[in-house]
Structure 1
Amino acid sequence: MPPPLTKTNANGVRYRRQTTVDQLIDEVAMLDRAALLSRFSITNRHDPIYLPSEVLLHAIRATRQDNRDSHFEALFRILLARVESLSRNAISTSQYRNVDEIRAEIASRFATMIAQDRTQGGDRLDIFEVVFDKALAALRVDVLRKLGPERLRTEPIDDANTGEPTAAVERAAEAFLGQSREKFDDPAFRSDLVAAIDHLPNDEKTVIGLMLKGIPIDGKEPGAVTIAKLLGCTEKTVRNRRDRAIFKLRKALAGEYAS
């Protein structure tokens, strides 16, 4: 069996790899270097001999003992390619501005963690040997939060191709502005809505922009991208900002555009 992990949770219980991961670590330990690299190069998760990233990471960390730099570099390139592939799937060009910068920051932070683990040891990467995808998702959220929500593209009022309001904006306005979708047939209304949003304080405008993009305030999944996580604040704070913004928008759209 591979050596146990050393990191502990809040209750002092050590992190434990999944049983199948431990079994695969033992299995690949019997392979020569060429066979090992061949197995790790398989990217199709449905392939019966695919090796999960938890196993690949363990193999990389194990190179500390034999100090085979060339082997470490070959394994690391494979793992970094997986990280970049996951980032491409999770960080889309339709959702974010400067998407290449965001993906590069994720890869850079992960590479730094690998380098520190190789030279200094420690238990920071233990969670990646337990649940790699979820740990990477948490890293991704942290990068998005620290780079700033202004990197996000908010949903435009008008579709670039049709010149009509996008469905997402119509749904959002109907839900939290109390305005019917028919109001969007009036270009003047759409113009006034854009102006009203633009005049909101930055913290409130950010929340509304993210909501128009379809990003939820909260979420049950640990790796889910939510407004609260992106802004680094509580769900209550986000809801308070949303409520203040909605009050101001409704007031700005009152009178001629009253429901």
Structure 2
Amino acid sequence: MTKEPIRVATAVPPLRKRKQSTGEVYSRRTPVEQLLAALHEISIEEVARRSEILDSADPEYIPPEAVMHFVRFAKNCSDQLAYKSLFRSLRQRFLQLLRVNRKSLGGDRYIEDSYQAAVRDAVVDNVTEKLCHDRNAYDDRLDYFEINFNSAVARARRTAKRDSSENRKRENCQSLEAVVESADLDGVDTAIRSLRDVSEKFEDFSYRSGVYSAISLLPDEERQVIQLLVEGFKIKEIAELVGCTEKTVSARRNRARAKLREELYLEDRV
């Protein structure tokens, strides 16, 4: 007796990335498709809870391919708490694969291998930037992470290593000393909001592209803060995610906003 095929296409959105050689659309692995079909039947809150489980032996464990899918799927979800939980879980999956050697300085103090840390941060930042794009327009580059997460991370790591010298040069940008008043930064905050609130003038792709371009020029630590702000995270939440104080996050945000103002202010004067 022939088994009835598992129906997943009606519940799970298909990928859109096409193979260059044949034009055929990529597909997820069958076990992932089957799991996604089941997960689409439960609440997003329950999916978010299960995404926090890191032990692959746990029966409720969700593989990273599925976590990536639901971060993308839930981007317009009204439950932002669930979305943020999924986002944190996804970031943790990256950190599991992008381990950095640490040297003890005594007590609870340690120092990370600077090169490995730079590669890790570059990968996470790059994916975060793609997720920012994906909120407004489907970014098929993220499809690889739903097909084979480990392989996609390995590829991203190789790219980050190749570009590491350029990234380090970018980090040497001098910090702005002047404190910019909040009123002067309204245009910057509006521009940042435009990346997640596509309406009115923000539907202009060229405008959003200009904002993305300006953000891409920021030093890594400042760019990371802005990208997380775009994703809807608060200062306190960002501090927890990147492992620093709220004061440090605020300082990075302020430096980034000031630089973005300088970059975007040209448009206001035209």
Q: TM-score, normalised by structure 1?
A: 0.52
For structure 2, the residue ranges without an aligned partner over 5 or more in a row are: 1-7, 104-111, 169-270
Identity over aligned pairs, percent? 28
Residue 144, structure 1, aligned to residue 161, structure 2 = yes
140-149 or 65-74: which moved more? 65-74
Residue 73, structure 1, aligned to residue 84, structure 2 = yes
Aligned with residue 38 of structure 1, among 36, 46, 49: 49
Cα distance between partner residues in 2 of 1:132 and 1:34: 23
Q: CA deviation at 1:65?
A: 4.8
Cα distance between partner residues in 2 of 1:129 and 1:38: 19
Is the contact made by 1:93 and 1:99 (CA closer than 8 Å) also made in structure 2?
Answer: no
Is the contact made by 1:40 and 1:78 (CA closer than 8 Å) also made in structure 2?
Answer: yes
Which structure's CA Rg is the greater one? 1
Alignment-mate amino acid for residue 69 of structure 2:
H
For structure 1, the residue ranges without an aligned partner over 5 or more in a row are: 152-259
Q: CA deviation at 1:47?
A: 1.9
Cα distance between partner residues in 1 of 2:136 and 2:70: 15
Q: Show the 5 A alignment for 1:163-182.
A: none
Change in 2 beyond 3 A, CA 1:28/1:76: same
Deviations 1:6-51 (A, max 9, x none): 1111221110001111111111112223322221111011222211
Cα distance between partner residues in 1 of 2:43 and 2:19: 35
Cα distance between partner residues in 2 of 1:9 and 1:58: 20
Is the contact made by 2:65 and 2:146 (CA closer than 8 Å) also made in structure 1?
Answer: yes
Partner of 1:220: none
Partner of 1:4: 14
Partner of 1:26: 37
Change in 2 beyond 3 A, CA 1:14/1:33: closer
Aligned with residue 25 of structure 2, among 7, 14, 31: 14
RMSD of aligned residue pairs (Cα, Å): 2.4
Cα distance between partner residues in 2 of 1:104 and 1:65: 26
Partner of 2:147: 130
Is the contact made by 2:130 and 2:139 (CA closer than 8 Å) also made in structure 1?
Answer: no
Cα distance between partner residues in 2 of 1:61 and 1:26: 15
SS of equivalent residue, structure 2 residue 127: helix
Q: Show the 5 A alignment for 1:173-192.
A: none
Cα distance between partner residues in 2 of 1:79 and 1:100: 18
Deviations 1:48-107 (A, max 9, x none): 22111111111111124545433222211110011112111xx54599643322222221
Cα distance between partner residues in 2 of 1:20 and 1:112: 28
Alignment-mate amino acid for residue 37 of structure 2:
D
Cα distance between partner residues in 2 of 1:68 and 1:5: 24
Deviations 1:159-205 (A, max 9, x none): xxxxxxxxxxxxxxxxxxxxxxxxxxxxxxxxxxxxxxxxxxxxxxx
